[in-house]
Structure 1
């Protein structure tokens, strides 16, 4: 569940003319968007705390409201794996960059594997598509050969999952431009793939 925060600060004081002066400062941090597939399902929960202090005749009242949003409602075709996230396997094959763009247009991103549990979730998705053993996901070594990073720039070795589909991977098989884009094999392991080749792909919408 996403935590939204509102910080409300009210400052009041009495001027030399006896008038009360009030200053209000509000900070609201939503952190969400209106993209397709990210609409909240259900009511928000609100918890408000406040305290006040008096110093040199000036009273300060602080109010902090914590708003907890319900889980986001995934878009059409997304499957929920509890504790992991929402995923959608696109059977229509695309090039890696086109697949990345398609996920973004849905308000999601190419899947990034961060654990064995997440790998198993993607395996189950691939089992539902009998025509392929691979699907594109969100990592690459387009910047520096052999230095794989996620689509968010995190080194793949630091992402929480670095198991390849076989001892021969990554192998950068083929001539230029080689295999610089990421995919996942039906055994749950990672694989490098030609960025211009067409494969099904998996989009991820975090829970």
Structure 2
């Protein structure tokens, strides 16, 4: 089942004085705004916005199932005895993709899957993308618990480059020393507590990032074959 989140915002603006509940002179207008979004293979978000008025409801219904976010705005205005009252109600509903069945939820973080078959960094990246996910990116120290739990449960893995590294979604393959995640967002090294002390160590042959037993980042070889963790947003 898809995730569903709803938000209702009610705004009441009066031009002054008491409200006139008995005034019949009111006018109501409706506007439907639909925002759709999807992430392309490079990790960039593509967003489109469509608006529908009262006489375009049939067109709106034909695209409902294709959208991730629907925002309904209901507006009414009442003018009575010199008082102008504006009423705006916003209902926002977000439909998100459900995670794959074998992804484990971690409270307050997201959904993750541990892959024990060793792959190169590039192969691991594409494997996660096949799931509709991505190699794990640490957004906070709290999220390092996912990597720590991996090591707590990990059995001996045959064919892995070593037993102390797991691939994550960060690299500096394009420019030495300039680290970024799989979505192209820069990942700072100076003053970033997510890196293990002494890391990255600047070795030019280590252009992909791994997670250590401490849950911290370190640089490693992209051609190493390691287990990895996929994250579903």
1:20-61 CA-to-partner distances (Å, cap 9, x unmatched) read: xxx98643124368xxxxxxxxxxxx996522349xxxxxx9
State the match for 1:91 in structure 2. Answer: 116
**Counterparts of 2:186 and 2:75, CA distance in 1:** 44
Judge conservation of contact 1:119–1:189 (CA < 8 Å) in 2: yes
State the match for 2:37 in structure 1. Answer: 31
1:70-104 CA-to-partner distances (Å, cap 9, x unmatched) read: x7532133111111111111001111111111101
Give the 5 Å matches for 1:161-172.
Answer: 162-165=193-196, 167-172=197-202
Give the 5 Å matches for 1:1-207.
Answer: 26-31=32-37, 50-53=74-77, 64-69=90-95, 73-131=98-156, 132-157=163-188, 162-165=193-196, 167-173=197-203, 178-206=205-233
Q: 1:47 to 1:139 in 2, by over 3 A?
A: closer
Q: 1:102 to 1:4 in 2, by over 3 A?
A: farther
Q: 1:153 to 1:112 in 2, by over 3 A?
A: same
- What is the RMSD of the two structures over their aligned residues, measured on CA atoms? 3.5
Q: Which runs of 5+ in 1 are unaligned?
A: 6-22, 34-45, 55-60
Judge conservation of contact 1:156–1:162 (CA < 8 Å) in 2: no
Normalised by the length of structure 2, the TM-score is 0.60
1:147-166 CA-to-partner distances (Å, cap 9, x unmatched) read: 111111222128x954333x
Q: Which runs of 5+ in 2 are unaligned?
A: 8-28, 40-69, 79-86, 157-162
**Counterparts of 1:179 and 1:2, CA distance in 2:** 41
Normalised by the length of structure 1, the TM-score is 0.67
Judge conservation of contact 1:115–1:161 (CA < 8 Å) in 2: no
**Counterparts of 2:166 and 2:93, CA distance in 1:** 37
Q: 1:25 to 1:72 in 2, by over 3 A?
A: closer
Q: 1:199 to 1:90 in 2, by over 3 A?
A: same
Judge conservation of contact 2:33–2:72 (CA < 8 Å) in 1: no
Q: 1:130 to 1:91 in 2, by over 3 A?
A: same
Structure 1 residue matching 2:91: 3-state secondary structure: strand
